[in-house]
A and B are shown apart, each in its own frame.
Chain A
């Protein structure tokens, strides 16, 4: 088992933008690292560079103590699970799992022992003599994993391994993979576009966008202290509500105004986002997670309450998602709305509030929502940087 470290790694094509731009990332020995980001963010390219399937244009990539830039894939002692599993269709499950060992000229008895072991571990024992076409999706997925673990490689690479499975199976396999990695203790690099997978599986999560690394942190840290607007918008479901707002100071209290609404910000938030007072009189982006709304009660502070018309409400049982619109244009980053399903040219922004399940909200009803302003996030409107001093964008 070994660590993997990227140092200034770049992947560029002849004509076109860099797929991976100056990536520096250290993955510790035995760590479960998830690379996440929207499609085209470079996460798969980064993974394939570890595998040796993509040439490295610049920088160095180390596995253990070895610089592997020029070492062909077969010599890197890594194993990979592909999105479509890439099983050899003409080989049985046993032959599929044992192929790497056959190539390495391991003795037949040893191959049998190790494939049996792997099959046992994955619950494939009764299927070892079947061909892949006779297996279900989940079983194929397991075979692909078996093919990886039988070699006891230094690093496991997984490229969206669960995206071809149905939702229920995906949840099940998710925990199986976590368990497996914990048991084997092998370094794992896992690529996904699904932030739920990223949050639930990784020891640490690396968020990427357009070839650039945005933030590397444990899942909770990502959620609580997003390193920038993009991470804030990307992590969390439903996503953080991001709204352009103007910061003012009224009687020594910081207020934020968006459209016709003005809220007073709790001092706890200002303590975290210490640069906010510098932005008085300027436009920023504020972020409020859906769970930081609540139905206003009589005791609620009117200065932290907004009245808004519900557009749609979705009852989830334990909670209700109240959708509403605010008359401000959606927050954009590099000309694109940060929320993937927002319309760039719209003049209103949709917000979602997550309130307790016993509330009944009708369509078109005016609701009063209390905002837990202690948890509001602040970002620079142009750079997207958080208005904090302690920028922890370190890998």
Chain B
């Protein structure tokens, strides 16, 4: 194509091309990045504006840094001071002084600071003692407008500097801090662990069943010339046309009759047969040279043996494709589990169902929901990346999503 041309104009075109591709890739990747970041955030961190991709936690320093013992201390910055401060005491009595000559000048000091001058002044009809306080080396006269409790901040740079201040006027320092406990919490507390193993169990059995039935059926359709074969094959092809919603109600009724409702078996047995997989395997087997099979026939092998010892080893790519499709379909399916696992007993939940319950309209633990979502999305994406070759090559000819 023209992008292969050379010259300055072609270079421009190429840059533009990559620009478009990267832009779209960003649109695709960004939501996943948001998901991963949210899954390791603290819940308070999620609902801050502006949104951020970086999970944060409060910065702390060991108590020993400021010559104390005990738990780690949170770190703050203080307005008007350089450097960071550790909050060494959050229960320090504080006094708020207001300058006499300038009522807007308010200074917070430790409660025991300031010298009583012995004079008083009348503020709003109240007698207040006048204090002499030292601010930035200057002594000013002020009255004590409020007594409160606040924090004592110890500078991390200057051991001599201790600043008493109101905690809410200090800014807590934050640093990069993913919270991986989200994952363990969602697995244990929200029972995602059980859903995960349930999903895995269902997926494995469905995929194995599909492979087995598709190999057998595909081989019969491809290589055994029996009466009624073409009619049956057309029926199979036609069945791909039927949308699943048409089957939902009768299958539900059937599951009721079999007493399979709320049981994982309802997610397994009806889905171990696939017209699509049979079709895929048939297409592959049709393409295997007939002579190989005839040679095996002459070698005395039965059809059964030919299938398993000659055809199946050759069909590995097709089987891998089928397994990948089956895996993704079974792992991600939602509508049918929603219908048939409906008693609210989480022991039969699969991941998609748990997630929808967990992340539903009344959800609160957004970080846990996202941890669950990441758990649910990782296996199919990983399987896709591993099996990409089979998957991308065959989705085109599959005719099924």
Contacts and interface: CB of A to CB of B under 8 A. Distances in A.
Q: Do chains A and B touch in the complex (CB under 8 A)?
A: yes
A80 interface: yes
Contact of A73 (B294, B305, B310): B294
Interface string A86-122: 1111100000000110011000000000000000000
Interface in B268-296: 289, 291-292, 294-296
Interface in A49-77: 51-53, 72-76
B51 interface: no
Interface in B68-96: none
B301 interface: yes
Contact of A74 (B301, B313, B314): B301
B300 A86 contact: no
B291 A73 contact: no
A73 B297 contact: yes
Nearest to B312: A90
B101 interface: no
B302 interface: yes
Interface string B3-41: 000000000000000000000000000000000000000
A78 interface: yes
B298 interface: yes
A90 B314 CA distance: 7
A147 interface: yes
A80 B302 CA distance: 17
B289 A86 contact: yes
A127 interface: no
Given A89-B314, A90-B314, A74 B291 contact: no
Contact of A51 (B294, B296, B300, B314): B294
A86 B291 contact: yes
A146 to B, nearest CB: 12
B300 A103 contact: yes
A103 B299 contact: yes
A47 to B, nearest CB: 12
A223 interface: no
Contacts of B314: 89-90
A103 B301 contact: yes
B298 A84 contact: no
B292 A53 contact: no
B300 A53 contact: no
Given A74-B299, A100-B300, A103-B305, A82 B294 contact: yes
A74 B294 contact: no
B289 to A, nearest CB: 6
B301 A86 contact: no
Contacts of A73: 294, 297-298
| Main DSSP-derived SS at the B contact region | helix
A79 interface: yes
A88 B298 contact: no
Contacts of A104: 300
A86 B313 contact: no
Contacts of A74: 297-302
A356 B124 CA distance: 143
Interface string B213-246: 0000000000000000000000000000000000
Contacts of B295: 80, 82, 86-88, 147
A215 to B, nearest CB: 29
A90 B312 CA distance: 10
Contact of B294 (A75, A86, A103, A151): A86
B300 A82 contact: no
Contact of A86 (B292, B302, B305): B292
Contacts of B299: 74, 99-100, 103, 147, 151
B289 A53 contact: no
Contacts of A80: 294-295, 298
Given A89-B314, A103-B301, A103-B305, A84 B296 contact: no
A246 B295 CA distance: 53
Contacts of B296: 88, 99
B298 A79 contact: yes
Contacts of B294: 51, 53, 73, 80, 82, 86
Contacts of A82: 291, 294-295
A218 to B, nearest CB: 29
Given A84-B291, A86-B291, A88-B292, A53 B297 contact: yes
A87 B314 CA distance: 12
Interface of B: 289, 291-292, 294-302, 305, 310, 313-314
Given A74-B297, A87-B292, A151-B299, 16 more contacts: A53-B297, A72-B297, A73-B294, A75-B300, A78-B298, A79-B298, A80-B294, A82-B294, A83-B291, A84-B289, A84-B291, A90-B314, A100-B298, A103-B299, A103-B301, A147-B295
Interface of A: 51-53, 72-76, 78-80, 82-84, 86-90, 99-100, 103-104, 147, 151
26 contacts: A51-B298, A53-B298, A72-B297, A73-B294, A74-B297, A74-B298, A75-B300, A76-B298, A79-B298, A80-B294, A82-B291, A82-B295, A83-B291, A84-B291, A86-B292, A86-B294, A86-B295, A88-B296, A90-B314, A99-B296, A99-B299, A100-B298, A103-B300, A103-B301, A147-B295, A151-B299
